[in-house]
Amino acid sequence: MRKWLTASVLVYFLYGLFMYWYLFVMSGSGVPESYAGSSADPQTFMTGRELILSEDYSKIKNFLYFVTVPFEWFIFFIILLTGLSYKMQSWSNATSKFSAVKTSVYLFWLSLLVTVVALPVEWLGYKISVSYHITTQAFPSWMKDQVIDFWVNYLMMILIVVVLLWLIRKYEKKWWLYAWFLSIPFSFFLMFVQPVLIDPLYNDFYPLKNQQLEEKILALADEANIPAKHVYEVNMSEKTNALNAYVTGVGSNSRIVLWDTTLNRLSDNEILFIMAHEMGHYVMKHIYVGVAGYLLLSLGGLYLTHRLMKLIIGRWGTLLKIKSIKDLTALPLFLMLIGILTFASSPLTNTVSRYQEKSADMYAIEMTGDHEAAVTTFQELAKAGLSQVNPPTLVKIFRYGHPTLFERINYLEDGHESKE
């Protein structure tokens, strides 16, 4: 156990050291020399202070991302290696004879432990964001969101894990296939209830106050044959200075949502470009394509998780104190493998997402015909979020579900020049 623990700490430290070197020493984020002075060059639309802050903030934010993603896997690994998972299973077994109750108790202790260990890292990210004036949220409000996160995730995990364990115990060889079948209606159910049940737990949503702007947005929606009756705004200025707008939900629960920070900072034409972009996703059915892709990946992921769990328990089950895949003790291993596979698949999912986002940008510029508003929108997004216009390659591959702002401005410019 000591050897494994020492090796895991060493690997994690060396990984963190590499990411620090890559982000802070090796990588640059400037635009190619041939694009100097263009609309995509941040020196043309950012002040000197904004340039320095965006560079520093982006490097710190990206470094935190890359070191915290495997940190959760590391926590699960330590829980298994030290026998904590086995002890928590013993505690839960003593509480009740009902399997669902045992699972709920075990999940509570596991969720609480992971949350408490990870909280200092979350708090560090919060403080850094506050120091760069991206986050405006007061600490009590931030803690409230953390508590809501805990209970929402915990209650959802109870439902998922109870069903998952029942499937594993009843269909040990094919549980992954039956779990995948059940995930299809569950995914659509979550998408349907999120706008009306989950999102309002964190923020207040209300109809757009600017009725003239709403009329313009709904006119765009009508032109795109989108059955929207209302546009919603959300009071995100209490939490952030960043800008955003999105379409959420499916069916009758679909919503067009604008952050009030977007409304306060952008012009009507810029907002209409963003709305046309979101409508492009709807028209091209990107939501359903994304769900289909997610379900396809999840099928492969669940099968790989099944095979890897069998292999790991067969070889190192004694060390990790896991007797069988059917035991609650194996849950941290399951969660660790799901996390690793999700991260490993992110370059693929991000590539597909970037293609969809580019298509939505092209749809928006064709619909609005406002090239100037499109370019200034992306410039304002960079300034408001202190975002790197041209981030390092690994950051783009693993973090960017959208094209970089450098790419987005350039292909808008290229399209505009070709029309002229």
In the chain, the amino acid numbered 29 is: S
Residue 54 tokens read as 């965006």
In the chain, the amino acid numbered 161 is: V
Buried b (16+ CB within 10 A) or exposed e, 111-120: bebbbeeeee
| 68 CB-side CA count, 13 A | 17
CB 360 within 8 A of CB 280: yes
Catalytic residues: 278
Residue 405 CB contacts under 8 Å (≥ 6 apart), including other chains: 40, 378, 379, 381, 382, 387, 389, 390
- Tell me the DSSP string of 53-72: HHHHHHHHHHHHHHHHHHHH
The 3-state DSSP class for residue 152 equals helix
Residue 386 tokens read as 């202190």
Closest alpha carbon to 248 in 184, 197, 213, 186: 197
- Determine the Cα–Cα distance for residues 353 and 402; give it in Å rounded to an integer: 6
- Determine the Cα–Cα distance for residues 237 and 244; give it in Å rounded to an integer: 11
Q: Quick one: angle between helices 331-368 and 99-131, nearest 10?
A: 50
